[in-house]
A and B are shown apart, each in its own frame.
Chain A
Amino acid sequence: MNVTLSDAIKLTMQLFALLNVAAFGAISLVWLERRFLGRLQGRPGPNRVGPLGLLQPIADAIKLMSKEDVAPGTSQRLLFYAAPILVFVPSFVVWLTFPLARDVVVRNLDMGLFFFVAISVLSIVGLVLAGWSSNSKYAILGGFRAAAQLVSYEIPIITMILVIGMLSDSLDFVKVVDAQATVPFIAVVPLAFVIFLIAGLAEVGRTPFDIYFAESEVVGGPFVEYSGAHWAIFFLAEYVNTFVVGILGALLFLGGWRWPFGADLPQIASVALLMGKAYFIVLIIFWIRATYPRMRIDQLMAMAWKWLIPLSFVLFLVAAFQLKFEWPWWVLTILSLGVLVVPVVVQSRKQRNPALALAVRYSANAVIVHAKPRPAAVIVDDVVATSAVEGTSA
């Protein structure tokens, strides 16, 4: 294959632009999350550094870069410093195939969805490596838990991507968006969006699934020995991943840059529309973070293996049937909603009712203390003062 110089220059410029877009997206998420969480919690969020606090992420980056870089003495240095790179690079590499508009893409592969799945799994290796090379028992435990969680939640994501691939008859991102010209896939398979969002939260490591590096738990997770710039890389990778989940959701489920307009808009408007949808999904992710406490690791794994994986397989079969028998698209909506309703009903019977019933019962069965009648109000000038107070009586 002949690569001319102009091709190489063009590619370099595209990659540079892509890096900027991804990095800018991640940085804007840092700012957006803190302001949004602040508003949800009744406080302003960062508002000191720059107008509206817009320079806050830069201040954070400067702070993190200027910290002392300590590595544990007994750690494997080469692997210790390689692990952040292994976590961070796949998050950026997947951007190669994301189309921000029909022609705004670095390389539009025919197997774009497959490429995404294949590359994003690499960061799990990086996490395990981070934990193991730190040579600290808490880090190793954290690394293993992270690996277990991430691998378990890969399966629903992959299955949902397969469903989307089946419905749009292609693994190409542009064709997926084209297939949603009239109806976005979120209306066709809402259950797939729900599963994708939950599994995506778990993949990124966001509350309620962030127990493997949560601060207030006993084990600090695989990142416990990292400081300064290295920790900043993990931090950045998490935000880039969140943005990737947002963009992926916008492309696969919300209709990309086409819906609801059908025809193509000018490029800037297409990009803006796609970004708007991506940010919308990201805001939902932040909203969930503000609301829920963390799940315990065994509850998290139970949810993946007992609920999400079976549901995703059932949905896969349902989608396959719909394609085989060529039913209209709204049949799939009804069927997937039906599959969603069953676990919701089962769970609500098991968990919510007992708490509400207990709450009502505790209130009702409380020990009631009745007031005694109060003696008539007596204006007293001097209250009982015994000889002990006044001194001796003798």
Chain B
Amino acid sequence: MTNEPQFDHVDMMLNMGPQHPATHGVFRMVLTVDGERVVDVTPHIGYLHRGTERLAEVETYGQVITLFDRVDYISNLNNELAFVRAGEKIMEVEAPERAQYIRVILAELNRVASHLLFIGTYAIDLGGMTPVMYCFRERERIENLFEHVTGARMMHNYMRIGGVKSDVPDDFVPWVRRLIGEVRMGVEESDKLLSTNEVFLARTQGVGVIDGPTAVSCGLSGPSLRGSGVAYDVRKDDPYEIYPYLNYKIPLGENGDCWDRYYLRVLECYESLNMIEQCLDQFPAGPIMAAGRRIARPPAGEVFAHSENPRGDLGVYLVSDGSDKPYRVKIRPPSFCNLVGLATMTRGAYIADAVAILGSLDIVLGEVDR
């Protein structure tokens, strides 16, 4: 060998601390970097741990619904839906049809709102500061509707075991139809600005690739898993509410990179808007709450229910001991499981890509930490 000077090789640790503009919440990532490449990444979570599961054991079922609002604070109605379905399964009641339609319409609108937030914040993570303004304008429209229907813009506490809390106002259907048109235009605006933007493509294509089997083994779900080509969607595989009566498409990615995960969410926005239109066409009259006790006192037993959140598959395992408070509520947060795949995706990428990859997983720390 030649007389090359031998240098000591020390990897540098770079801390993307709990307070950072790009980590979407209190999340700490310690990157071990070798020059400009990431060798390993260690996520540190738990900064937002509020003991939701333990709190749920001392609250009645009606109160636990408010806890679920705050688990994933971007897609509140989808979380409520998962828990309410678990409650209905264990009590063996079924919500009336109108209530199910209301639930699905609101849940899909919440999915669009959540994806809009993702598009905006992903763009601004990468430096494009305009889509976030457009997306939040559309979110305001959706949140206005939520306020009109449920009384609150974000923490709705609207669904109940057996139905929904109150009926929708009289102008619900025309309002939602108008809203769908406006939101569709808004999504198109951000889509046209960002999806085929050269710089955006350079930052996201080929970055953070994860293949299908690894993703399944890591427990990914939702658009993060579908980006790798695995067709797992709770609405299709384990249908609930009135999803069997809707025509919809589930887009799949091929490469498993950041752009796939981003673009699948954009396509899902369009699909959700189509689904809402079909629901409005089929919207029935009728009661909105199942008859029976308002204080739920389910029989003792265990049940598992899950729903398709914007982030993935939110599972609720409910253990009841026959009283009016749950014995154990376990929440399977999709972002928690998606973060397991972060290490695989980030190994070998550039430092600047770590931000892009974390953004493409679309995590919400409220549900990671509970």
Report A's interface with B, CB cutoff 8 A: 37, 40-43, 137, 207-208, 210-211, 214-219, 289-299, 347, 351-352, 354-356, 358-359, 361-363, 365-374, 377, 379-386, 388-391
Identity of the chain B residue whose Cβ is nearest the Cβ of A208 in the assembled complex: B199
Residues of A within 8 A of B133 (CB): 41-43
> Is the beta-carbon distance between A362 and B250 smaller than 8 angstroms?
no
Decide yes or no: A385 and B21 within 8 Å by CB, A363-B251, A371-B245 being known contacts: no
Known: A293-B197, A369-B250, A377-B286. 19 other contacts (CB 8 A): A210-B127, A216-B124, A217-B352, A289-B129, A291-B197, A292-B198, A294-B203, A295-B202, A352-B198, A354-B205, A355-B205, A369-B236, A369-B246, A369-B248, A371-B278, A372-B244, A383-B96, A386-B93, A388-B298
A389 to B233, CA, bound (A): 32
A312 to B340, CA, bound (A): 47
Give the Cβ gap from B1 to chain A, nearest Cβ, in Å.
Answer: 30
Interface: B91 (CB within 8 A): yes
Interface: B303 (CB within 8 A): no
> What 0/1 readout, one digit per residue, does chain B (232-270) give for beta carbons within 8 Å of chain A?
010110000010111111111110000110011001000
> Is the beta-carbon distance between A365 and B252 smaller than 8 angstroms?
yes
- Specify which of B97, B194, B244, B292 is in contact with A377 (CB 8 Å cutoff): B97
Residues of B within 8 A of A363 (CB): 249, 251, 267
Identity of the chain A residue whose Cβ is nearest the Cβ of B286 in the assembled complex: A379
Complex A-B, nearest 4 residue pairs according to Cβ-Cβ distance, in ascending order: A294-B127, A293-B128, A41-B133, A366-B249
A208 to B95, CA, bound (A): 52
Residues of A within 8 A of B55 (CB): none
Interface: B126 (CB within 8 A): yes
Within 8 A of A (CB), among B80-103: 91-97
- Specify which of B94, B201, B251, B267 is in contact with A384 (CB 8 Å cutoff): B94
Residues of A within 8 A of B194 (CB): 293
Residues of A within 8 A of B126 (CB): 216, 293-294
Decide yes or no: A218 and B14 within 8 Å by CB, A291-B130, A294-B203, A367-B249 being known contacts: yes
Decide yes or no: A383 and B95 within 8 Å by CB, A216-B22, A370-B247 being known contacts: yes
Decide yes or no: A295 and B203 within 8 Å by CB, A37-B129, A215-B21 being known contacts: yes
A210 to B245, CA, bound (A): 50
Residues of B within 8 A of A383 (CB): 93-96, 162, 287, 290-291
Residues of B within 8 A of A377 (CB): 97, 284, 286
Identity of the chain A residue whose Cβ is nearest the Cβ of B16 in the assembled complex: A218
Identity of the chain B residue whose Cβ is nearest the Cβ of A378 in the assembled complex: B97
- Specify which of A41, A211, A296, A374 is in contact with B202 (CB 8 Å cutoff): A296
- Specify which of A296, A356, A361 is in contact with B353 (CB 8 Å cutoff): A296
Identity of the chain B residue whose Cβ is nearest the Cβ of A210 in the assembled complex: B127
Identity of the chain A residue whose Cβ is nearest the Cβ of B127 in the assembled complex: A294
Interface: B173 (CB within 8 A): no
Query: What would 16 A/B residue contacts be, using CB atoms closer than 8 Å?
Result: A41-B129, A208-B127, A216-B21, A216-B22, A218-B14, A289-B129, A290-B129, A297-B36, A352-B201, A359-B263, A363-B249, A367-B236, A380-B287, A381-B287, A383-B94, A389-B293
Residues of B within 8 A of A370 (CB): 247
A295 to B201, CA, bound (A): 10
Give the Cβ gap from B38 to chain A, nearest Cβ, in Å.
Answer: 10
- Most chain B beta carbons < 10 A, residue from A37, A369, A377: A369
- Specify which of A290, A358, A367, A390 is in contact with B263 (CB 8 Å cutoff): A358
> Is the beta-carbon distance between B195 and A371 smaller than 8 angstroms?
no
Q: What's the dominant secondary structure at chain A's contact region? A: loop
> Is the beta-carbon distance between A296 and B252 smaller than 8 angstroms?
no
> Is the beta-carbon distance between B250 and A367 smaller than 8 angstroms?
yes
A214 to B253, CA, bound (A): 30
Decide yes or no: A217 and B128 within 8 Å by CB, A294-B199, A355-B201 being known contacts: no
A221 to B259, CA, bound (A): 27
Residues of B within 8 A of A354 (CB): 205
- Specify which of A291, A299, A365 is in contact with B128 (CB 8 Å cutoff): A291
- Most chain B beta carbons < 10 A, residue from A210, A299, A363, A385: A385
Identity of the chain A residue whose Cβ is nearest the Cβ of B296 in the assembled complex: A389
Interface: B134 (CB within 8 A): yes
A296 to B37, CA, bound (A): 13
Residues of B within 8 A of A299 (CB): 202-203
- Most chain B beta carbons < 10 A, residue from A37, A137, A367: A367
Within 8 A of A (CB), among B180-196: 193-196
> Is the beta-carbon distance between A372 and B353 smaller than 8 angstroms?
no
Give the Cβ gap from A171 to chain B, nearest Cβ, in Å.
Answer: 35
Interface: B218 (CB within 8 A): no
Residues of A within 8 A of B263 (CB): 358-359, 362
Within 8 A of A (CB), among B277-292: 278, 282, 284-287, 290-292
A290 to B134, CA, bound (A): 12
A392 to B30, CA, bound (A): 56
A291 to B127, CA, bound (A): 9
Residues of B within 8 A of A389 (CB): 91-93, 292-293, 296
Identity of the chain A residue whose Cβ is nearest the Cβ of B96 in the assembled complex: A383
Residues of B within 8 A of A356 (CB): 196
Decide yes or no: A41 and B254 within 8 Å by CB, A217-B352, A291-B193 being known contacts: no
Residues of A within 8 A of B291 (CB): 381-383, 385
> Is the beta-carbon distance between A218 and B244 smaller than 8 angstroms?
no
Give the Cβ gap from A179 to chain B, nearest Cβ, in Å.
Answer: 35
> Is the beta-carbon distance between A217 and B286 smaller than 8 angstroms?
no
Residues of A within 8 A of B253 (CB): 362
Give the Cβ gap from A206 to chain B, nearest Cβ, in Å.
Answer: 11
Identity of the chain B residue whose Cβ is nearest the Cβ of A354 in the assembled complex: B205
Decide yes or no: A368 and B352 within 8 Å by CB, A291-B128, A363-B267, A383-B96 being known contacts: no
A375 to B124, CA, bound (A): 47
Decide yes or no: A367 and B292 within 8 Å by CB, A296-B352, A351-B198 being known contacts: no
A334 to B97, CA, bound (A): 69
- Specify which of B91, B127, B251 is in contact with A388 (CB 8 Å cutoff): B91
A207 to B297, CA, bound (A): 59
A128 to B195, CA, bound (A): 36
> Is the beta-carbon distance between B203 and A293 smaller than 8 angstroms?
yes
- Specify which of A210, A291, A367, A371 is in contact with B252 (CB 8 Å cutoff): A367
Interface: B43 (CB within 8 A): no
> Is the beta-carbon distance between A380 and B96 smaller than 8 angstroms?
yes
A40 to B130, CA, bound (A): 8
A278 to B257, CA, bound (A): 42
> Is the beta-carbon distance between A366 and B252 smaller than 8 angstroms?
yes
Interface: B31 (CB within 8 A): yes
A218 to B14, CA, bound (A): 8
A219 to B252, CA, bound (A): 35
Give the Cβ gap from B303 to chain A, nearest Cβ, in Å.
Answer: 12
Give the Cβ gap from A213 to chain B, nearest Cβ, in Å.
Answer: 11
Give the Cβ gap from B320 to chain A, nearest Cβ, in Å.
Answer: 10
Give the Cβ gap from A283 to chain B, nearest Cβ, in Å.
Answer: 15
> Is the beta-carbon distance between B252 and A218 smaller than 8 angstroms?
no
